[in-house]
Amino acid sequence: MNSASSSPSAIKDALISAFRESLVVTASISGDIPSLLQHAYSRHFREQMPSIHNNKSTSAPTSAPSLESLLATLCKIHLLEPAAQALLDRARSILTSGPPLSMNVELADGEELPIAMHTLNQGAVWACLLGGGANPDLEDRVLNEAREKQPHMTDIHNRIRKALTPEAKCLWFLCRKFFFSLNVAEKDGESYQCPVPDRCYHHRMYMGRLFMLDTRHHTALTRARMPRALEVYSNTWTHIARTPKGLWGWGYNEYGQLGFESSGFVDPTRLTFPACPKVAELEASLPAWEKHGMVTGVSIMSGQTFILTPAGTVMAGNKANWFIGEAERGNRRLFTPVAVPTGFVPDHIMHAWNSAVILSMGDRQVISGESWKGQLGLGHENDMSGFVDLPFRVDRIMTPEDDFNVFLSGRQLLFAGRVTPHIAQSGLLPGYSEDDKCLTATPLRFRESQGVPLWL
């Protein structure tokens, strides 16, 4: 382009002509050259390119001469503003070398990946897309499950639709790396959903990054503001994550099961142990990014949280006095050491919804919980104020009920608690009648032809 043709009007005409030509000749190649030319025009002239009505078909097959002609036209345009020239150069590069790839990029020796979003690792790409509003639920599973379990809660269904819109699914198809990251997250990530009568809670996690949706408190999938989670423990709508920076809890905390007092929905909050000096000391002794090493197990159930650590077991929440002892009743809203025999540091927990809790240390087991009908099998119906040694082996709490427990012990089923009508009528407990209290764990007696009842 000579000096005469580098006037503003000549450059305008050249860009408009190149744009018009690109609509046809680049229709079947990757890379959005028409948009690059439009933006180059806008950045150079500080105005929008005039609207162009292209009457030619954009589905015509691309031929080498037409691409060469467009490239020659672009090479004649120069002396643009730097920001505009960069876009023009990118359009030329696409014509000569093809568009930059988001997958399977081949590198020469010593060459590094370009700094771009699509070169981030899969977890970072996935988190960026979700943070930008992308809908990862391509098959509408969240809405379908809510409809199935809450068929009449149309308000909750509408909230889910607004948070996870069909239009927001399109973001995953902007490039192959985005869609690949979504598929890997679906395969290797975790998801959790708990529809209850008045709300729906849902979260998704991949490579430690967790996004949650509570229809009462969120209008979109929201990033949990906490360090990357290594593991998440959930019970209905209360959740605790084990992270390299310690434990974080969120959700509902009506019984103080997160170890502090609050009301309503709790955002991710660092859990602390002011009433547990040994556990606090252990956590403080660990390096800054290795705090997860203090936790060997977590169990959340029925408004109670138990945390197992090498420095002992602590709990907070509902009916805490059964586990921490009467002397510590004032600390029931804080994590408090459980009352166990001296030197007992459990490595496993069985936690039933009726508050029967069994802690194991190797072959030794201790138990506590509700006992007012003798359902712990200890030979009494007194209130518990800490854990005591279990006089029989329990491999699993099979059937926890308000009035009784059925324990699996080896190859036997042991019954303890109030004898209900169906137990009395079945003949499984010879010598016991309806409403009797079976205070000592007693084997259920099955006739050879009787089999195991379905309710077990």
Beta-strand (E) ranges in 310-395? 312-317, 336-337, 348-351, 357-361, 364-368, 388-389
Residue 10, domain member (yes or no): yes
Grade residue 212 by pLDDT with cuts at 50, 70 and 90. Answer: very high
245 assigned to some structural domain: no
Q: What rounded mean pLDDT belongs to the chain?
A: 89
* DSSP string computed for 84-99: HHHHHHHHHHHHHH-P
**Of 223, 250, 276, which residue sits at a domain end?**
223
For residue 57, name the pLDDT band (cuts at 50, 70, 90). very low
Judge whether 414 lies within some domain.
Answer: no
Residue 429, in any domain of the structure: no
Q: Rounded distance, CA 75 to CA 154, Å?
A: 59
Q: Residue 451 has what pLDDT?
A: 55
> Based on the domain organization, do 174 and 87 belong to the same domain?
no
Q: Are residues 126 and 193 in the same domain?
A: yes
Kindly report which listed range (66-70, 249-253, 381-385) carries the lowest average pLDDT score.
66-70
Q: Which of 269, 267, 344 is nearest to 311 (CA)?
A: 344
What are the backbone angles phi and psi of residue 224, rounded to the nearest 5°? -75, 120
One domain for residues 49 and 87: yes
Shared domain check, 133 and 86: no
Q: Averaged over 350-377, what is the pLDDT? A: 96
Q: Which of 97, 130, 151 is the last residue of a domain?
A: 97
Confidence (pLDDT) at 454 = 46
Can you give the residue range of the structural domain that contains 128?
117-223
**Cβ–Cβ < 8 Å for 272, 307:** no
Q: Is residue 137 part of a domain?
A: yes
60 with 127, same domain? no
**Mean pLDDT of the region 194-212:** 93
pLDDT at 56: 46
Q: 169, 188, 223 — which closes off a domain?
A: 223
Residue 426 reports pLDDT greater than 80: yes
Residues 41-53: tens digit of each pLDDT: 999 999 999 876 5
- Give a yes or no: residue 423 inside a domain: no
Provide the number of structural domains found in the chain.
2
CB 160 within 8 A of CB 110: no
Q: Quickly state the pLDDT bin for 450 (edges 50, 70, 90).
A: low
**pTM for this structure?**
0.79
pLDDT at position 147 over 70: yes
| Whether residues 174 and 121 fall in one domain | yes
Task: Identify which has the larger pLDDT, 452 or 423.
Answer: 423
- Does residue 147 share a domain with residue 84? no
